[in-house]
Structure 1
Amino acid sequence: MSSAVSFRRIGHLDMDAFFASVELLRYPELRGQPVVVGGRRAPAPVVRADGTREFARLRDYAGRGVVTTSTYEARALGVFSAMGMMKAARLAPEAVLLPADFEAYRYYSGRFKTAAMAIAPCMENRGIDEVYLDLTEVKGGSVALAWRLKQAVFEATGLSCSIAVAPNKLLAKIGSELDKPDGLTVFGMADVPTRIWPLAAGKVNGIGPKAVAKLAALGIETIGDLAQAERALLRAHFGVSYASWLYDVARGIDERPVVTASEPKSISRETTFERDLHPRADRAALSAIFTALCERVADDLRRKDYVSRTIGIKLRYDDFRTLTRDITLSEAAGDVASIRRAAGECLKRAPLDRRLRLLGVRCSGLVARNADTGEAGGLQWTLPFDDPTR
């Protein structure tokens, strides 16, 4: 490992239960209560005659939505992100249910990132609620810097965050989870045996459920167990490349830089229906959803200033089979009409004889709009779900 990499200070800043916390700014009377955000049919609160608010309860939810996020009180009851709403309702029937407001979340995301960048300009955006910060050249001790960042974020948003400062992104990511919520963690390579090795192997970002199961079958439960494993054993079960990565991360080794700018590979939008929809019986509903997805993708492209050379669709049938189709355009495009036209051609190549659970539209082969502003050519306009022959 190079000396330049050895002496880095990398911060990972992660907002605490971000979406739920934004909602608590709007509804402070819900603080301390189990609150779940999500579900496509979650009703908005109703204002009573006396000015107080009446909130929907999770027990009354019916549908196939998933939990977007939950407060820590709801998590204590077993309700976590990506869980089916119906399962969540069985675990926490009295939890308050709120609809998601992504416009508000994007607003607060922008505010916390602007506040953090004022202190640490070298930032890697990792999503709506987390960032990496290279603090190597920022003046001040690690603990003092972390406190400054936490205070700046709170003053800008009224929200808490958890921060870890460590020698690399791997350790900073793990560290930010250790003392949530409102955590502050600082450690170095010398702390790896005591702070990192006792943790479950799945705490490493990149060791997913399948890898965890394979490791457990080999008697490897913790990161420390992984650090003691022989390279040959790991290679035999995981292949050379992944085994080498496992060997390094178990020792806290990660030389990845903080990347301040990156080009997206694709932009997509998809939706899972509350009930399965049939291409013929629910033709009008599907056509409207299809158009809305194309509009949202086109809006994403416009905001990010890209056009796309390849348009695709994603279908999931009622038997859970997933199918994708795509088409490459003669010229890149980003307008709604061209995206819908190309996606419609993809639909013509997909069986539409079963009910659908999910529909998605994807744009890939992205290029900067000012580099290629051509429109898709050679395709006939079709309304795939309106075609009476399907």
Structure 2
Amino acid sequence: MRRAPSILHLDLDAFFAAVEQRDKPSLRGKPVVVGGIGRRGVVSTASYEARVFGVRSAMSAGEAHRLAPHAAFLGGRFEAYWQSSRIVMALLGELSPRVQALSLDEAFVDLEHTAAPVDSVDGLVEFAEELRAELSQRTLGLTASVGIGTSKLMAKVASELAKPDGVRVVPAGQEATTLAPLSVRAIPGVGPVTHDKLALLGLRTVADVQQASLSELVREVGSSWGAELYELAWGRDDRPVEGQRDAKSISQETTFEYDATDRAWLEAKLDADAAHVCQRLRKHGQFARTIQIKVRFGDFTTWTRSRTLQGATDEPHRVAQVARSLLAQVDVNRGIRLLGVGVSGFVAAAQEELFLVEGDGDGAGTESSAAADSGDAFGDGPFGRRRGESYWPGADVEHDELGRGWVWGTGLGRVTVRFETRDVPSGPVRSFAVDDPQLHPVGPLPMPADQPPDSV
């Protein structure tokens, strides 16, 4: 355990929904749900205004719509979220050389050997407030909750206690008392299964676990996890903040004795290689965002292709799925001498692929809308988006005459657009044919050039 609170945890508040409200002024102060607009969709993020109605992450689309029928249900704009995330992570990198990004909206920062006043609680609060103000300025209004403690556990707990849009510092020596009143789910690694096992023993709060005997915990959840659970309940956590690993990629490739032309056999090889790569990935405690295949033909020419996910994974079936789709672009009849799978773009935690577009029927006669009062039907894809679809609720568009806006709703061959941006609020709403030559999908507006902070 560190003798002073020198680990910082930053968590952007309702990140995806906050980016949408920032970029869509008409949605500010209103309930917004990102994801969950397809019949089989799942909520990614709900704004705090939507959470008042009980909408939560990982909730089904139908349940979210039932609880908040008048909320704006939007598909994802991963490029916009990635754009803001890069700004935040760059800012954290200016604080310390050791930043451990957990996802797009969350990171640990090691404050040891920095200018942070780790020996003063008041000084740390001021430091964190300056950081949050700089972050809000650079991201044009996003907010973050910051926790600082003597360990990663306590920093994470502190940021949860600070939500939303606040700061919490847990001084050295106050770890156990801070944890005691919290649910056992506050302990990292306690999922539904462990929670239910502990509940059968009457252990529902961290204080209950603190008072339990080590032998009782070991008997119920196993020797290794029982001992770790006991230590964590008392706030004892020595996990380091891990910066970017030296390894940039992990790969597995095979050279065949004879040139292969059987696609099914080659796909089976990809499956095996993907499993091996993911085994090594998990050994390093990492998740990958980019998947690549390498193909060498019989004439020794080499072909590589990669795909970057809208998330991060260590799942063999997902890596194999992407690798197979890349192999589909290859004419295997040329004869393949070498085949390999690689992963890169490592992060320290999985980021669910919330905006994965999958085919799910032709969607004929359906309508997908940002606001429930403009239509109650859902799009057929997981997020109201079918493969290759250009328009979905929340998507950025531009009209040759009327300028930039975003998709308010789609369906029945029509696209309804609200013409506004974060700089030009509350514009008109107009509908167009889906094939209108003057209407085009576009990416998010660029963020203004960053200026290094004078002091953070």
Specify if TM > 0.5. yes
Structure 1 equivalent of residue 159 of structure 2: 176
SS of residue paired to 1:176: helix
Which consecutive residues of structure 2, in runs of 5 or more, have no partner in the other structure?
A: 118-122, 252-289, 294-303, 309-313, 332-339, 346-456
Deviations 1:196-226 (A, max 9, x none): 1100010122111111111111010101111
Which consecutive residues of structure 1, in runs of 5 or more, have no partner in the other structure?
A: 43-61, 268-295, 305-309, 315-324, 328-332, 343-362, 369-390
Matches for 1:324-339 after TM superposition, within 5 Å = 337-338=326-327
- Please state how far the C-alpha of 1:104 moved relative to its aligned partner: 0.2
| 1-structure distance, mates of 2:215, 2:323 | 49
Structure 2 equivalent of residue 92 of structure 1: 68
With 130-139 and 258-267 compared, the bigger mean Cα shift is at: 258-267
- Cα 1:340/1:79, change in 2 over 3 Å: farther
Structure 2 equivalent of residue 143 of structure 1: 125
SS of residue paired to 1:257: coil
What is the identity, as a one-letter code, of the residue corresponding to 1:231? L
Select the residue among 245, 262, 281 that pairs with 2:228.
Answer: 245
What is the identity, as a one-letter code, of the residue corresponding to 2:198? L
With 140-149 and 82-91 compared, the bigger mean Cα shift is at: 140-149
- Cα 1:326/1:35, change in 2 over 3 Å: closer
What is the identity, as a one-letter code, of the residue corresponding to 1:124? Q
SS of residue paired to 2:54: coil
SS of residue paired to 1:133: strand
- Cα 1:108/1:366, change in 2 over 3 Å: closer
What is the identity, as a one-letter code, of the residue corresponding to 1:17? A
Select the residue among 90, 96, 101 that pairs with 1:120.
Answer: 96
Q: How many residues align?
A: 277
| 2-structure distance, mates of 1:301, 1:190 | 52
Structure 1 equivalent of residue 48 of structure 2: 72
Does the aligned pair in 2 maintain the 1:116–1:153 contact within 8 Å? no
| 2-structure distance, mates of 1:77, 1:301 | 45
Identity %: 37
| 2-structure distance, mates of 1:104, 1:92 | 25
Structure 2 equivalent of residue 31 of structure 1: 28
Structure 2 equivalent of residue 14 of structure 1: 11
Select the residue among 134, 158, 161 that pairs with 1:152.
Answer: 134
Structure 2 equivalent of residue 82 of structure 1: 58
Does the aligned pair in 1 maintain the 2:11–2:159 contact within 8 Å? yes
| 2-structure distance, mates of 1:218, 1:98 | 42
Does the aligned pair in 2 maintain the 1:301–1:334 contact within 8 Å? no
Deviations 1:26-63 (A, max 9, x none): 11222221111114xx5xxxxxxxxxxxxxxxxxxx51
| 2-structure distance, mates of 1:193, 1:135 | 22
- Please state how far the C-alpha of 1:119 moved relative to its aligned partner: 2.3
| 2-structure distance, mates of 1:364, 1:266 | 9
Does the aligned pair in 1 maintain the 2:306–2:326 contact within 8 Å? no
Does the aligned pair in 2 maintain the 1:123–1:133 contact within 8 Å? yes
What is the identity, as a one-letter code, of the residue corresponding to 1:77? F
Select the residue among 87, 110, 117 that pairs with 1:111.
Answer: 87
What is the identity, as a one-letter code, of the residue corresponding to 1:27? K
| 2-structure distance, mates of 1:301, 1:238 | 44
Select the residue among 178, 183, 193 that pairs with 1:210.
Answer: 193
- Cα 1:302/1:228, change in 2 over 3 Å: same
- Cα 1:63/1:336, change in 2 over 3 Å: closer
| 2-structure distance, mates of 1:186, 1:193 | 14
SS of residue paired to 1:14: strand
Does the aligned pair in 1 maintain the 2:32–2:50 contact within 8 Å? yes
What is the identity, as a one-letter code, of the residue corresponding to 2:52? A
| More helix by percentage | 1
With 145-154 and 11-20 compared, the bigger mean Cα shift is at: 145-154
What is the identity, as a one-letter code, of the residue corresponding to 2:135? V
SS of residue paired to 2:145: strand
Select the residue among 204, 217, 221 that pairs with 1:221.
Answer: 204
Q: Aligned-residue CA RMSD in angstroms?
A: 3.4
- Please state how far the C-alpha of 1:335 moved relative to its aligned partner: 9.9
- Cα 1:123/1:339, change in 2 over 3 Å: farther
- Please state how far the C-alpha of 1:78 moved relative to its aligned partner: 1.1
Does the aligned pair in 1 maintain the 2:55–2:67 contact within 8 Å? yes
| 2-structure distance, mates of 1:90, 1:134 | 43
Deviations 1:155-199 (A, max 9, x none): 110210000110000011111011211110001242234321100
- Cα 1:177/1:266, change in 2 over 3 Å: farther
| 2-structure distance, mates of 1:258, 1:227 | 25
Structure 2 equivalent of residue 230 of structure 1: 213
- Cα 1:251/1:313, change in 2 over 3 Å: closer
TM-score normalised over the length of structure 2: 0.55
Deviations 1:60-87 (A, max 9, x none): xx51111111101111211111111011
TM-score normalised over the length of structure 1: 0.64
What is the identity, as a one-letter code, of the residue corresponding to 2:84? Y
- Cα 1:126/1:224, change in 2 over 3 Å: same
| 1-structure distance, mates of 2:212, 2:154 | 20
